[in-house]
Every structure is written in C-alpha cells, then in structure tokens.
Amino acid sequence: MNISFKTKLSTSIAWVVFTVIFIAVILWQIYANQVDYQFYFNNILFIIVGIVFMRYIFLLKHTFIENKIIIKLILMPIAIFVAIYSYMALNDFIDFYQEYGKYANLQHLPLEKQYSLGDYIFGEYIFFGVIAVITSIILPIRLLISVWRVYNKGHE
C-alpha cells in the first residue's frame, strides 16, 4: 500500500496544527495566571518531542521519512541527544522544586489556586518530561528496525 504525497502532506500539517493547539491548551493555565515560569522552553520541547517521536514510533509508515534511510540514521543520534537533554532538564526542574517548593512562583495567587496550579505545573512537567525521555530512548531502536526493513525488504 503506497500512500500518496498529498495524503502525507495533509497528515503532517494536521499533526503540526494538533501539536500547536495541544501545547496551547496544556500551558494556558500557567500563562493565564501570569506565573513567573522559567521552564516554558523545556516544557514545550517535551510536548513536541513526545508527540513527534510517538508519531514516528507508531506511525512511521505514514510519514515522509518512511523509506529514507539517511534521515533515519541522522535522527538516531539526535534522539539520543534529546533523551540526555530531557533527562538533564527534568533533573533541573526537580532540583528547583526541591529547593524552592512547588508554590515558589505562585505567591501572587490565592492560596487555593496556588495549591491546584502548583500541583498541575509539577504533574504536567514531570509527565511530559518522562514521555520525552522514554520516546527518545525507544525511537532509535524503532528507526534501526525500520532501516533494516527498508535496506533488506525495500520498504517499511
């Protein structure tokens, strides 16, 4: 079964739109409450890595890199680097919250809002950080299997 270029393009655009909307929904609570949040970049990176890498792990046949061995070989070390970076960023976040507490940046909010938003921030950051680390470890294995299939069978 050969998927057309037009279908792959429209699917890729839909995934990008979904990812942007998903990031906006997840981070809206933090932004709307004017939290002094120094982890936006890593949080956005975790969400993007989680979605994109899971897509490549489970839906590789429906992407542009389906039969591109060179791109897969380039993505393997990038995924390993992302796994290491994500692990370090996750540790930095945990160190920050162990030193200052969950509610350090939320002092301007009412007490009940501090508790709920602090737990939300901590939970979602850890959740997406762990997803980023796990998918970054699994993706090179999946790509290696895919390279073997394309090299030996001629298709994914």
Predicted confidence (pLDDT) at residue 1 exceeds the cutoff of 70: no
Please give the C-alpha separations between residue 26 and each of 20, 48, 60, 117, 131, in angstroms, as whole numbers.
10, 12, 26, 12, 15
pLDDT tens readout for residues 54-88 = 999 999 988 988 889 999 999 999 999 999 999 99
**Range(s) of the domain holding residue 35:** 5-153
Structural domains in the chain (count)? 1
* N residues, the chain: 156
Q: How large is the average pLDDT for residues 37-62?
A: 95
